[in-house]
Amino acid sequence: ISDRYVHLESSIHIYNQNKVNMKVELSYEEIINYVERNYYVRLQLVNIDERTIDIEYKPSKFLPAMSIRVRIDGCRKDVVCLSYECSAPMAMIISGAVGHLGNKIPQGIDVNTTEKRVVMYLNQIEVLEKPLSYVELETISLCDDHIDISARLR
């Protein structure tokens, strides 16, 4: 695997249900630790339901927590559609960050801050090119303490 791929620790579990389907289980704690280790931010992830998660960050004792609710609106083998809900100040921060990043956002990720939507065209995202040559996405489910990703071997 290339250095460009995200390497997470041992809490990723891959289950080969049969020779065609597989399930990847990624714990929220591992995601939180990865973000903290690489970006010095400690998130809190709270599962709402199978399609919705709350993400919260408290920058300091003196500032209020910032939160965003992310929902998986759709998932196909080549496209994942997300939407988000947040306060007006948080929406302004997101809009400013997206505007600032501009062309640094990878090709294949379309962020529409007006509609609060993110569409990821998986086959256009360069770092997913090699993994997607072996598997195709079937579903993404949010559980109490982890994310379940089901894929089908090609």
One DSSP character per residue, 115-152 reads TTEEEEEGGG-GGGHHHHHHEEEEEEEE-SSEEEEEEE
Sorting pLDDT into bands at 50, 70 and 90, what band is 143?
very high
d(CA 31, CA 74): 22
**pTM of the full predicted structure?**
0.82
Task: Please say whether the beta carbons of 131 and 119 come within 8 A.
Answer: no
Q: Give the C-alpha separation, 69 to 94, whole Å.
A: 13
Which is higher by pLDDT, 22 or 145?
A: 145
pLDDT tens-digit map of 69-115: 999 999 999 999 999 999 999 999 999 999 999 889 999 999 999 99
